[in-house]
Amino acid sequence: MKNISKDKYKFIHALRPFSFAVALVACGAGVSLAWVEGWRNPASILLVFLGGVLLQAGVNLINDYSDLSEKSALKPTQIEAIKRNFQIGMGCFAVAAAIGLWFVYQVGFAFFILCMGGLLGALGYTLKPVNYKTRGLGVVLVFWLMGVLMVLGSYLALTGHWNTNVIWFSIPVSLLVSLLLLSNELRDYEADKHATIQTLVVRLGYQKGILIYKALVAAVGLSVMLLAWRFNQPWLLSGLLAFVFLPRLIGLLRADASERGPLTSGSGRMLMVFGVLYNLSLLFGYSS
């Protein structure tokens, strides 16, 4: 691990606030589906969003903790920053867990099982000995943890019951969550390869990573069209207006490493715009 950026471990950088779009969009989908069924408690909805953002913040802040195994490449200030971020991240998990326990009390033990699965998955994302990130499994795991489970968990927290349709409606959002993480791996490909961080893109190669990125985009479009047809909800297609960002993003995929920086933030904007349009379509167009 050489030439580590001096800013990498600063709190605001480690927090990655742009990625909060993941929690807001995923929770928003679950909330929208619950809303149309008549579950509209403002306090509960606020707690769902707060819990989701705290969980996302916790994942982000503990993300660099495994770097402590390479202390020889770190400055004392960087080691201190990593430990501080980890402590704050665990604090975020603790508050999110407290919110989760309140919902367990409200809606039952099924929510506890879902929360435990999500929390263990979040901790295992970057922490040893599991560390899904360096096993090349991050893109797959976030589809479930920050996509399907977060949408389903938000819905379950408000309604107290399961609905298989929620899983189907979570798929486009979950695919874009995976795409956002993949964009991060593509952006950092050269640095991760140099540091021997075995992400999916490092394992498969950059060109195959581009193919996966394009395949995820195609899967989002196909899943939205199938959902619009299956549930007779044409307004869901409005989410595809977010693809206006694609030409710029495809261009960045072909750019040199030094010019690839905006790829992740641009993918995040596409996720956010898609999420707003898609969730509004669920809110005003979906009939349970």
Q: Provide the residue count of the chain.
A: 288
pLDDT of residue 67: 77
Q: In this structure, are residues 93 and 119 in contact, taking their beta carbons and an 8 Å threshold?
A: yes
pLDDT of residue 51: 96
pLDDT of residue 69: 73
Q: Please give the domain boundaries of the chain with CATH numbers for all domains.
A: 11-285 (1.10.600)
Q: What percent of the chain has pLDDT over 90?
A: 78
Per-residue pLDDT of 200-241, as tens digits, reads: 999 999 999 999 999 999 999 999 999 999 999 999 999 999
**DSSP label at 127?**
S
Expressed in angstroms, the distance from the first to the final Cα of the chain is 51
Q: Is the peptide bond preceding residue 129 cis, with omega within 30 degrees of 0?
A: yes
What's the average model confidence in pLDDT over 122-130? Answer: 78
Output the CA–CA distances (angstroms, integers) from residue 44 to 9, 29, 41, 67, 154, in the order listed: 34, 15, 5, 37, 10
Gap between the Cα atoms of 150 and 9, Å rounded: 27
pTM, full prediction? 0.93
pLDDT of residue 72: 60
pLDDT of residue 110: 92
**14 has a pLDDT exceeding 60:** yes
Tokens in use for 156?
Answer: 């379950």
Gap between the Cα atoms of 97 and 20, Å rounded: 18
Per-residue pLDDT of 140-185, as tens digits, reads: 999 999 999 999 999 999 999 999 999 999 999 999 999 999 999 9
**287 has a pLDDT exceeding 80:** no
pLDDT of residue 65: 85
Quick count: other Cβ atoms within 10 Å of Cβ 270?
A: 24
Query: What's phi and psi for 177, nearest 5 deg?
Result: -65, -45
Question: Radius of gyration of the chain from Cα atoms?
Answer: 19
